[in-house]
Amino acid sequence: MAVIAVSEREVLVAEARLWWFRIVLGVLFLILGFVILGYDTRSLTVLSIFLGVSFLLSALTWFAVASVTDEFRGVWITGGVLGVICGILAFVYPDETLRVLSLLLGWFLLLGGLVHTIGSLMNRDREAWWMSLVSGIIMFGLGAWAVRETDRSVILLATIVGVYCLLKGALEIVMGVRLHRLKREL
């Protein structure tokens, strides 16, 4: 194992303590993604509820990261707060227009993709940094698609949300397993 600075080691130990939380969130994201992709989401209200749940799960992930790191803590907290706000808006206004929902999702994915991409590039010395990079690029692409798509449909938006949830779930599970392995090494 590479030599790790004291402060980075402390961050890794703190992250490793939450390995189980990352796996639980990953499983919840995967379940939500499969439900969204398999469910008849022609109803805007149903899609809005699914979207709200995915925003809140994302906020939990961002708050969890903020609780164990000093690097970009403000960015992670801001992302978590935005996730909570977007989730609440999706629940409170479930029948809002498709345009509003797709813009909420699109901007959330654009910002989340940017944070993942920048964070992964700044942590290239960590194992599996590239997974967060790939995830960030895909999130950014899905966000751009949701924001720019002028011929919006509920099915398109459901597909974007479902793919995001599957991607996020897989990433969280892999990170949880890696953190569990790291916990045993530390």
Whether the pLDDT of residue 81 is over 90: the answer is: yes
Domain ranges of the chain: 6-185
pLDDT of residue 170: 93
pLDDT-derived band at 3 (thresholds 50, 70, 90) equals very low
Q: Across all residues in the chain, what is the average pLDDT? A: 82
Residue type, 24: V
pLDDT of residue 72: 75
pLDDT-derived band at 150 (thresholds 50, 70, 90) equals low
Q: What are phi and psi of 82, to 5 degrees?
A: -60, -40
Whether the pLDDT of residue 94 is over 60: the answer is: yes
pLDDT of residue 24: 93
pLDDT of residue 27: 95
pTM (two decimals): 0.72
pLDDT-derived band at 41 (thresholds 50, 70, 90) equals low
Pairwise CA distance, residues 48 & 61, whole Å: 20
Structure tokens at 178: 């890696």
Whether the pLDDT of residue 122 is over 50: the answer is: yes
